[in-house]
Amino acid sequence: MDNYLNHRWPQGPGVQPPPVPGWPGAELRPKKKSSPRRWLVPLVSILLVVSLLGGVCFWAVNGIASMLSQMEPALPDDPRPWVSRHLEGGSDWSAGDLPWGDPDPSVSLSAQPVGPAVTGREAYDAALPTLVSVETAHTNPLEGSVGTGVVVERSGYVVTNYHIIEDSVKIRVGLLDGPGKLFDAKVIGFDEAFDIAVLKFDPDGLDLTPARLGDSDALSVGDLVYAVGNPMGYLTGSMSMGIVSALDRELDQEESRTKGALGLIQIDAPINPGNSGGALLNQSGQVVGITCAKITGVVREHGEAIDDAVVLEGMGLAIPISDAIPFINHILATGESWRPAMGIQCAADQIDGRKGIRVAEITADAPKEAGLRAGDLILTANGVPVTTLAQLRRVLYRTGAEGELTCTVLRAGEERTITFPLMDSLKQD
């Protein structure tokens, strides 16, 4: 197959490349003798033109140099020059080094039903005012992170990825469509395993536009989606388009920053460093996901890189917004993370062709006292059929750590209904 390295011109009339003098196929014409008069006038004309151009070029070069001396470079040598201006170097870091803000239980988010389809331009125009750049500084003044955040409340609450603020001691945000002003931001709370963080900044009189949150449960493979963010930290407001490639995608637990996440949304819309924490939009322009990662071409085995020659394209990932909302609301209300748990060890399985979640071991008193037994096959949880661990976790997270779980289980060919309270595994010894 021909490619740009070994291209061959197609054969036939009218498709041959133009002849090049000195090469086969070029027409050779005899040289004509020229008299001094014939070349003297053109030569004088050329010299006059060159003299004029020299004067113009001298003026132009000096003018441009003067203009450039008054301009800031678009891409400074250090893409984060503010880090060294504001912070001293250090070595040790803890979450306590972050600037912390107080939670606000009055703020609560909810997903809206899917709205009418809009054009890509309309989706972009609606989303851009709801997005911010996120810049962080570390204890090491040579380090820092850049990413994107989604404004979810008019008073200045922002949702982003935890890995952007990890190891940071200073956080600043700036509206992607704003005047370029950066605002100091505080951390309300985060969930490291779910890769979610909630920030708060003072808009200082600006009328913020909160994002319209959609229903990620309504997504299907093949749906058109848009990713909007801040790739590379300076390509502000970039938008890319793709489709939903897969749903409920599980990452390798050793490699994933979203170990606690449920099934992730896989997309083929290009995303790059700096897109993290940005918005994944549906065809209605609603935020249905928080972009968080992309699958690279490094093959790993037991955490060790064994091959980096594999070329992978179009494999981005996003946290479903309907899954993230319960975590965000809990952080907004308490400033803390949580992890609802049943108190069992289990795995996806099937009995007599019926799929569900088989209970391998019971590790807490509540489900045991309610009548749950090892070997039971959980068919539904709070009325929702569950055949994968992601589906079961989704029910748990949306129920909450203080809620009750009602399970339909299959035991010895008979269905039973068992109800017991959930626990917060993060508060267990």
Q: Hey, what are 87's tokens?
A: 């912070």
Residue 157 has pLDDT above 90, yes or no: yes
Clarify whether 7 is annotated catalytic.
no
pLDDT value of residue 130? 95
Radius of gyration for the chain, computed over Cα atoms and rounded to the nearest angstrom: 30
Catalytic residue among 276, 284, 322, 337: 276
What is the pLDDT at residue 152? 96
Is residue 83 scored above 50 in pLDDT?
Answer: no
Instruction: Give me the catalytic one of 167, 191, 195, 323.
Output: 195
What pLDDT band is residue 78 in, cutting at 50, 70 and 90? very low
DSSP 3: -
Catalytic site includes residue 276: yes
Establish whether 163 is a catalytic residue. Answer: yes
> Which residues on neighbouring strands pair with residue 150, listed in sequence order?
131, 159
Per-residue pLDDT of 256-271, as tens digits, reads 444 445 689 999 998 8
**How far is it, in rounded angstroms, from Cα 377 to Cα 410?**
5
Distance CA 400, CA 389 (A): 17
- Higher-confidence residue: 429 or 111? 111
Confidence bin at 293 (pLDDT 50/70/90) = confident
At 253 the pLDDT is 47
0.75 surpassed by pTM:
no
**What DSSP string describes 45-72?**
HHHHHHHHHHHHHHHHHHHHHHHHHTS-
DSSP letters for 360-386: EEE-SHHHHHHT--TT-EEEEETTEE-
Confidence at residue 221, expressed as pLDDT on a 0 to 100 scale: 97
Instruction: Using DSSP, state whether 229 is helix, strand or coil.
Output: strand
Lowest mean pLDDT among 92-101, 110-119, 418-427: 92-101
What mean pLDDT, rounded, does the chain reach? 77
Calculate mean pLDDT across residues 248-263. Answer: 59
Range 5-14 average pLDDT:
32
Lowest mean pLDDT among 9-23, 101-115, 185-199, 248-262: 9-23
Is the model's pLDDT at 67 over the cut of 50? Answer: no
Q: Which residue has the higher pLDDT, 358 or 293?
A: 358
Lowest mean per-residue pLDDT among 203-207, 214-218, 298-302: 298-302
Dihedral (Cα; 370, 373, 378, 380), 10-degree rounding: -10
- How far are the Cα atoms of 356, 381, 404 from residue 399, in angstroms, in the given order? 19, 10, 7
Burial of residue 47, with CB atoms counted within 10 A of its CB: 0-12 exposed, 13-18 middle, 19 or more buried: exposed
pLDDT tops 50 at residue 13: no
Q: Is the pLDDT of residue 250 over 80?
A: no
* Residue 208 pLDDT > 90: yes
Query: How high is the pLDDT of residue 261?
Result: 54
The catalytically annotated residue of 133, 138, 145, 163 is: 163
Domains of the chain: 81-108+128-201 (2.40.10.10), 216-323 (2.40.10.10), 340-427 (2.30.42.10)
Name the percent of the chain lying above pLDDT 90.
Answer: 51
Categorize the per-residue pLDDT at 96 as very low, low, confident or very high, splitting at 50, 70 and 90: low
- 10-19, 55-64, 107-116: which is most confident: 107-116
Can you give the pLDDT at residue 402? Answer: 82
Q: What is the b/e burial string over 176-193, where b = at least 16 CB atoms within 10 angstroms of the residue's CB?
A: bebeeeebebbbbbbbbb
More confident position, 373 or 67: 373
Q: Structure tokens of 263? A: 């099934």
**Angstrom distance (rounded) from CA 371 to CA 318:** 38
Q: What is the mean pLDDT of residues 329-352?
A: 92
pLDDT band at 300, cuts 50/70/90? low
Instruction: Give 298's pLDDT tier (boundaries 50, 70, 90).
Output: low
Q: Is the pLDDT reported for residue 248 higher than 90?
A: no
In the predicted structure, residue 90 carries a pLDDT above the cut 60 = no
